[in-house]
Amino acid sequence: MSTANNNDYPNAQLLVDVRWVEDHLASSEVVLLDARAQGYDAGHIPGAIWLNAKHLKDTSNHTFVSAEGFREVLERSGVSDGKTIVVYDDGSGVLATRVFYVLEYYGHIDRVKLLNGGYTAWTAAAKEISAEAPRVQIGTIAAVSDERRVITKEDIQAGGHNRILLDVRSADEFSGSDQRTNRKGGHIKGALHKEWKDALGPADELGVVRFKDFPTLKQEFETLGLSPDQTIVPYCQTNQRGAHTYFILRLLGYSDIRPYEGSWDEWGNAEDTEVVR
């Protein structure tokens, strides 16, 4: 197994490297978003605009921020229709992939890319950093929700042909031994388990964590029992880790991925849900 540093993935256009970002820093057609939870003010890729991924979730309803709220967040970050959006976090987290997923849910398919290795890869390559926030030109972006990219509690309870539930939480959360703050611990009946971070390779000598290569990821998901002709339903606690697996499956060429947005935050606290330990 090796980490990804090639274009072997079926949807390799969704992933860029440090060189690509460096070559496009001056492009007016590219918007660079820093999705890290902290560290932006101390240093970021020049021209990157900070975006708080938490603003893309409506925690009161276990769902996405409204279309209006989505537009406001992205437009204030300089995003406009037709632009290429590149998102990064530290490279080993779930924030960039969460932004990626919500953008695709709101209709921006194949317009969003991730920096493999994130900000850690950028600094490890000794590239220039900046502590200055760029002047943002307010954008104009559409927001049309794509319900084929999400699934609800009621959908799961109704069942579905050729649908695979994929629990991407830790093994202890899956078994129920780690219940966190939920009323119920365990997993949804019939769910397979593969922790989200299994898709990441080990840190290299400079501390950079990148995605595993295509042959390794393909084999791991096939061994688990997944195939691209199925409907795959990732879920976790709040669908941040689930969104990471959404990105990985998109990268691998899976075409029908419908994360459970409510995830365990909803399922593990609802009165009418069945839980398996």
DSSP states along 14-72 = GEE-HHHHHHTTT-TTEEEEE--SS-TTT-BSTT-EE--GGGGEETTTTEEPPHHHHHH
Nearest to 68 by CA among 126, 142, 177: 142
Phi, psi at 162, each rounded to 5°: 60, 30
Q: Which two tokens stand for residue 224?
A: 């688990």
Rounded CA gap, 1 and 20, in Å? Answer: 24
Pick the catalytic residue from 236, 243, 248, 251: 236
- Whether 105 is catalytic is no
Q: Which of 195, 229, 218 is nearest to 4 (CA)?
A: 218
Q: Supply angle C-alpha 251, 254, 258, rounded to 5.
A: 105
131 token code pair = 């502590």
Q: Quote the distance between the C-alpha of residue 208 and its chain's center.
A: 18
- Tell me the two tokens of residue 144: 């049309």
Tell me if 196 sits within 8 A of 242, measured CB to CB: yes
Helix (H, G, I), strand (E, B) or coil at 2: coil
Catalytic residues: 236
